[in-house]
């Protein structure tokens, strides 16, 4: 890691008062755990911070992570707004307000004279955040409505971009992107060590090891290096509970997830020559099993474990008619994001997610045909 990058980040942290931490709307376990690790790290430095992930719903398998319940699904109170009225010449006799439809109406009666539009000024405060950390996110658009509704925030406030994906757009003011790392969590561990801050504890270690375990499927992927294993060992020495993490992530499934897994198995298809497997779920499947899309990563994990020879796994699902969502997983030499870039997917080389305005069967036929032509 270039020495100047940690120094740049340290200076930004030192100068900040309140830090926003976020990751992709279609977040990975690595992104989620890394956000929490950063939050705990900043609190150790006595910095105010908050985690916001667009439309966030707490995944059951990550409930064991400390402070995960503090993640917010939207950002609030980014700015304060001031309506300033010069009453030096008129005074005020009466002041009231009401709300009519979508309009706030302020009723004023001067003591003397008249008020004019020139007496009125509208002012805004500075943003409540003064530094942003974005983790495991290829581009700003992947942040969803957090970016779409607050674009000026990301252009006016310094952004630190941390990722291990080659598809990252390097959109940050400071970019800490290392494609040789197994995960964003591994990069964050090295950053903290490079900053020479003695703040790592068992809670931070738990989050960082969780990110590494999720990203490597418990250190079974091809990008695991001796350095990765050394870092994992150091995190365990700091108090990270590897066995609990593995149990929670891979060995504990809710009844609804297991029922959904059964639905996936009944529709499982494969192309052994192309090493692709796929399945699909319709809205009725979610209603019948009591599951929701947030259970799907657990289902994909089961597909990966049950199909070690598969290089590409696709799961098609609908929660409403005529909009089909696709989760694409790729391993070994295959790249999920590159395979699906035609469909403006988000994610990384292992996991990608995208939507099609087509029926379930139409989307399945098109995407499987596309994948076969690309492999």
Average pLDDT over residues 21-44: 95
Q: Scan for tokens 């066995």, then name that residue.
A: 243
Domain encompassing residue 91: 81-124
**CA angle (242, 205, 53) in 5-degree steps:** 105
Residue of 57, 47, 51 whose CA lies nearest to 71: 51
Q: Scan for tokens 């790592």, then name that residue.
A: 200
User: What's the confidence (pLDDT) of residue 3?
Assistant: 53
For residue 218, what are the β-bridge partners?
A: none
Are both 135 and 26 inside the same structural domain? yes
Residue 221, pLDDT > 90, answer: no
Please indicate whether residue 137 or residue 333 has the higher confidence score (pLDDT).
137
Strands 48-51 and 81-85: unpaired
Q: Scan for tokens 């006799």, then name that residue.
A: 93
Q: CATH number of the domain that 173 lies in?
A: 3.90.1640.10
Question: What gap in Å lies between CA 289 and CA 185, rounded to an integer?
Answer: 33
Are both 67 and 173 inside the same structural domain? yes
DSSP letter at 20?
E
Residue 59, pLDDT > 70, answer: yes
**In Å, how far are 87, 98, 104, 269 from 101, measured between CA atoms?**
28, 10, 8, 52
Final residue of a structural domain among 249, 274, 291: 249
Residue 315, pLDDT > 90, answer: yes
Question: What gap in Å lies between CA 85 and CA 107, rounded to an integer?
Answer: 12
Sign, Cα dihedral of 135, 136, 139, 140: negative
CA R_g for the chain: 24
Are both 58 and 169 inside the same structural domain? yes
Residue 337, pLDDT > 90, answer: no
User: What's the confidence (pLDDT) of residue 196?
Assistant: 84
Average pLDDT over residues 7-28: 94
Are both 108 and 67 inside the same structural domain? no
Are both 103 and 168 inside the same structural domain? no
Are both 269 and 333 inside the same structural domain? yes
Average pLDDT over residues 245-252: 88
Residue 81, pLDDT > 70, answer: yes
Other C-beta atoms closer than 10 Å to the C-beta of 240 total: 25
Residue 88 CB contacts under 8 Å (≥ 6 apart), including other chains: none
**In Å, how far are 43, 44, 188 from 204, measured between CA atoms?**
11, 10, 10
User: What's the confidence (pLDDT) of residue 240?
Assistant: 97
User: What's the confidence (pLDDT) of residue 314?
Assistant: 96
Are both 221 and 335 inside the same structural domain? no
Q: CATH number of the domain that 369 lies in?
A: 3.10.310.30
Q: Which long-range contacts (CB under 8 A, 24 or more apart) does 111-116 make?
A: 113/89, 114/90, 115/85, 115/87, 115/90
For residue 109, what are the β-bridge partners?
A: 94
Question: What gap in Å lies between CA 62 and CA 252, rounded to an integer?
Answer: 11
Residue 124, pLDDT > 80, answer: no
Question: What gap in Å lies between CA 215 and CA 352, rounded to an integer?
Answer: 13
3-state secondary structure of 250: helix
Final residue of a structural domain among 96, 124, 152: 124
Residue 1, pLDDT > 70, answer: no
Average pLDDT over residues 261-289: 95
User: What's the confidence (pLDDT) of residue 265?
Assistant: 94
Are both 108 and 179 inside the same structural domain? no
Number of domains in the chain: 3
Final residue of a structural domain among 249, 268, 294: 249
Are both 53 and 14 inside the same structural domain? yes
Are both 327 and 236 inside the same structural domain? no
Average pLDDT over residues 133-146: 93
**In Å, how far are 98, 140, 194, 204 from 186, measured between CA atoms?**
53, 22, 12, 12
Residue 270, pLDDT > 80, answer: yes
What the block records as the tokens of 279 is 């399945």
pTM of the model: 0.81
What the block records as the tokens of 3 is 């020495």
Question: What gap in Å lies between CA 133 and CA 20, rounded to an integer?
Answer: 6
Are both 229 and 281 inside the same structural domain? no
Residue of 51, 45, 50 whose CA lies nearest to 196: 45
Question: What gap in Å lies between CA 311 and CA 117, rounded to an integer?
Answer: 66
Are both 194 and 223 inside the same structural domain? yes
Please indicate whether residue 79 or residue 85 has the higher confidence score (pLDDT).
85
Q: What is the pLDDT of residues 148-190, one digit of tens each?
A: 999 999 999 999 999 998 888 999 999 999 999 999 999 999 9
């Amino acid at each position: 890691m270039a020495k100047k990058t940690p120094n740049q980040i340290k200076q930004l942290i030192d100068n900040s008062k309140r830090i926003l931490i976020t990751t992709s709307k279609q977040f990975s376990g690595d992104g989620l755990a890394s956000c929490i690790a950063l939050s705990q790290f900043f609190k150790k430095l006595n910095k105010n911070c908050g985690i916001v992930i667009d439309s966030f719903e707490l995944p059951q398998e990550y409930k064991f992570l400390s402070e995960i319940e503090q993640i917010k699904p939207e950002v609030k109170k980014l700015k304060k707004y001031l309506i300033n009225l010069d009453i030096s010449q008129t005074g005020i006799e009466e002041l009231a307000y009401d709300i009519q439809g979508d309009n706030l109406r302020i009723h004023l009666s001067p003591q003397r004279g008249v008020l004019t539009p020139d007496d009125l000024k509208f002012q805004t405060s500075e943003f409540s955040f003064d530094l942003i950390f974005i983790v495991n996110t290829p581009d700003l658009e992947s942040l969803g409505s957090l970016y779409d509704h607050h674009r000026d925030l990301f252009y006016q406030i310094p952004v630190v971009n941390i990722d291990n994906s080659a598809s990252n757009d390097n959109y940050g003011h400071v970019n800490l992107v290392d494609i040789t790392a197994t995960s964003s969590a591994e990069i964050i561990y090295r950053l903290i060590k490079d900053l020479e801050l003695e703040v790592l504890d068992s809670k931070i270690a738990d989050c960082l090891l969780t990110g590494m375990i999720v990203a490597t499927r418990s250190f079974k992927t091809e990008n695991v290096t001796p350095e990765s294993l050394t870092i994992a060992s150091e995190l365990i020495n700091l108090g990270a509970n590897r066995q609990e993490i593995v149990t929670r992530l891979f060995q504990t499934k809710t009844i609804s997830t297991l029922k959904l897994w059964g639905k996936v198995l009944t529709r499982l298809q494969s192309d052994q020559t192309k090493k692709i497997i796929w399945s699909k779920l319709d809205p009725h499947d979610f209603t019948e099993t009591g599951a929701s899309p947030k259970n799907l990563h657990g289902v994909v994990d089961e597909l990966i474990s049950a199909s070690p020879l598969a290089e590409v796994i696709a799961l098609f699902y609908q929660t409403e008619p005529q909009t089909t969502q696709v989760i694409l997983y790729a391993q070994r030499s295959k790249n999920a994001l590159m395979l699906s870039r035609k469909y403006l997917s988000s994610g990384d080389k292992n996991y990608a997610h995208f939507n099609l305005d087509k029926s379930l069967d139409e989307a399945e036929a098109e995407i499987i045909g596309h994948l076969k032509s690309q492999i």
